[in-house]
């Protein structure tokens, strides 16, 4: 199989899981990230990946600036949604003339930003049910090994799509090719709206939600509001009953969703491109989404960094 030059833009949980496993099977992988200590550790000692696909260390280039990395055949976009424009500019710098970007991000709107910057023919869309948990600079635990959905924006089955799927299969990343990748992305959007922020605000894992009747009902309302918005926009979801699908998924998953990790590390979350999007877009269309609105406000309160210490009482 042809060896590719792959640049992972965003060496966080997802970026390290994908980049580490692709490097493990012999692909030439480089990482672009904004965390100096993480970049330095990967550059000096390699990336340590432990968990579901084995325990191993891979050697890889890493940098804070795209201009310092070798030109790539593929740029994996794994940044948070609020950094997509910067990632698109980095991809434009690092990609070879015939290279393309694959987004594996949460939320909606990322494809539109990438295609606006790179052109639609240089963008492939995907979404991931893989998860990782950052253990420290240069160290990642692979905690959930679900499917990786891939598809071309025009629904075609191109050679580059099938070649990338073959690499993902060899790397143990469970590729699934779909014709309508945008509908699948909207389905994952609803999935994330129903899980990530709830776990982040409560500290519970997905499998614990069903154990609390009040929280179980709240999750159902969150999902129903998101589904109502998606259907109002004329989007047909792959699942007939998203509430049942998401509840069944949660019943046997006990990983830490990325939003929980972001809050624990004092980082900005993707709430505005998930539940916040449901609340804002629903209001624009005249729909009610009180549960998504309340959850968004609570997450923003949790991620707020006070300017001063509270006075002693």
227-238 confidence digits (pLDDT tens): 999 999 999 998
Q: Is residue 311, in this structure, part of any structural domain at all?
A: no
- For β-strands 123-136 and 95-103, DSSP reports them as parallel
* pLDDT at 267 (0 to 100): 86
Residues 194-209: what's their mean pLDDT? 97
On whether both 261 and 298 belong to a single domain, the answer is yes
On whether both 166 and 245 belong to a single domain, the answer is no
On whether both 76 and 125 belong to a single domain, the answer is yes
Show which of 156, 179, 202 is a domain's final residue.
179
Quick check: 312 pLDDT over 70? no
Q: Is residue 309, in this structure, part of any structural domain at all?
A: no
Per-residue pLDDT of 30-69, as tens digits, reads 999 999 999 999 999 999 999 999 999 999 999 999 999 9
Phi and psi (nearest 5°) for 144?
Answer: -145, 125
Quick check: 93 pLDDT over 80? yes
Show which of 179, 198, 232 is a domain's final residue.
179
On whether both 25 and 120 belong to a single domain, the answer is yes
Confidence of residue 311 (pLDDT cuts 50, 70, 90): low
Evaluate whether 185 touches 152 at the Cβ level (below 8 Å): no
Tokens standing for residue 57:
């260390």
Distance CA 271, CA 273 (A): 5
End-to-end, the C-alpha distance of the chain in Å comes to: 67
* pLDDT at 2 (0 to 100): 79
Q: Which residue has the tokens 């904004």?
A: 34
Give, in degrees to the nearest 5, the angle at Cα 139 between 133 and 145: 40
Confidence of residue 307 (pLDDT cuts 50, 70, 90): confident
On whether both 89 and 167 belong to a single domain, the answer is yes
Q: How many CB atoms lie under 10 A from the CB of residue 162?
A: 12
On whether both 14 and 150 belong to a single domain, the answer is yes
- Torsion, Cα of 67, 170, 103, 251 (10° steps): -140
Provide CB contacts within 8 A for 106, sequence distance 6+: 80, 81, 127, 188, 189, 192, 196, 258, 270, 273, 274
| Interhelix angle 181-202/242-250, nearest 10 degrees | 50
Per-residue pLDDT of 163-182, as tens digits, reads 999 999 999 999 999 999 99
Q: Is residue 312, in this structure, part of any structural domain at all?
A: no
Tell me the pLDDT of the chain averaged across its residues: 95
On whether both 225 and 169 belong to a single domain, the answer is no
Residues 145-168: what's their mean pLDDT? 97
On whether both 38 and 144 belong to a single domain, the answer is yes
On whether both 168 and 205 belong to a single domain, the answer is no
On whether both 223 and 100 belong to a single domain, the answer is no
Q: Is residue 310, in this structure, part of any structural domain at all?
A: no
Total structural domains within the chain: 2
Show which of 164, 179, 194 is a domain's final residue.
179
Residue 281 structural domain: 184-303
Q: What CATH number is attached to the domain comprising 50? A: 3.40.50.720
Could you tell me the sign of the dihedral formed by the alpha carbons of 145, 131, 163, 59, in that order?
negative
Q: What CATH number is attached to the domain comprising 208? A: 1.10.1040.10
On whether both 58 and 154 belong to a single domain, the answer is yes
């Amino acid at each position: 199989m042809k060896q590719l030059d792959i640049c992972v833009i965003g060496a966080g949980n997802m970026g390290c899981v994908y980049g580490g496993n692709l490097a493990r099977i012999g692909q030439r992988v480089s990482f672009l990230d904004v965390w100096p200590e993480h970049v330095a550790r990967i550059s000096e000692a390699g990336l340590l990946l432990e968990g579901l696909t084995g325990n191993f260390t891979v050697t890889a280039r890493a940098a804070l600036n795209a201009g310092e990395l070798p030109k790539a055949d593929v740029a994996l976009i794994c940044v948070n949604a609020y950094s997509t424009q910067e990632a698109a500019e980095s991809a434009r710098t690092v990609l070879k003339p015939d290279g393309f970007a694959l987004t594996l991000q949460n939320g909606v709107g990322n494809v539109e930003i990438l295609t606006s910057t790179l052109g639609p023919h240089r963008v492939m869309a995907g979404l991931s049910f893989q998860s990782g948990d950052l253990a420290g600079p240069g160290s990642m635990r692979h905690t959930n090994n679900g499917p990786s959905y891939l598809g071309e924006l025009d629904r075609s089955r191109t050679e580059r799509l099938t070649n990338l799927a073959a690499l993902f299969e060899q790397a143990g990343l469970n590729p699934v090719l779909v014709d309508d990748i945008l509908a699948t992305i909207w389905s994952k959007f609803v999935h994330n709206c129903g899980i990530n922020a709830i776990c982040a605000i409560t500290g519970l894992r997905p499998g614990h939600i069903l154990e609390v009747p009040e929280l179980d009902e709240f999750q159902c309302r969150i999902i129903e509001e998101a589904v109502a918005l998606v259907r109002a926009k004329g989007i047909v979801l792959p699942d007939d009953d998203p509430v049942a699908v998401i509840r069944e998924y949660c019943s046997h998953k006990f990983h830490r969703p990325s939003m929980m990790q972001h809050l624990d590390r004092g980082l900005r979350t993707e709430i505005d491109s998930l539940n916040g999007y449901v609340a804002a877009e629903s209001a624009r269309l005249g729909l009610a989404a009180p549960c998504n609105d309340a959850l968004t406000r609570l997450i923003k309160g949790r991620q707020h960094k006070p300017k001063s210490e509270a006075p002693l009482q």
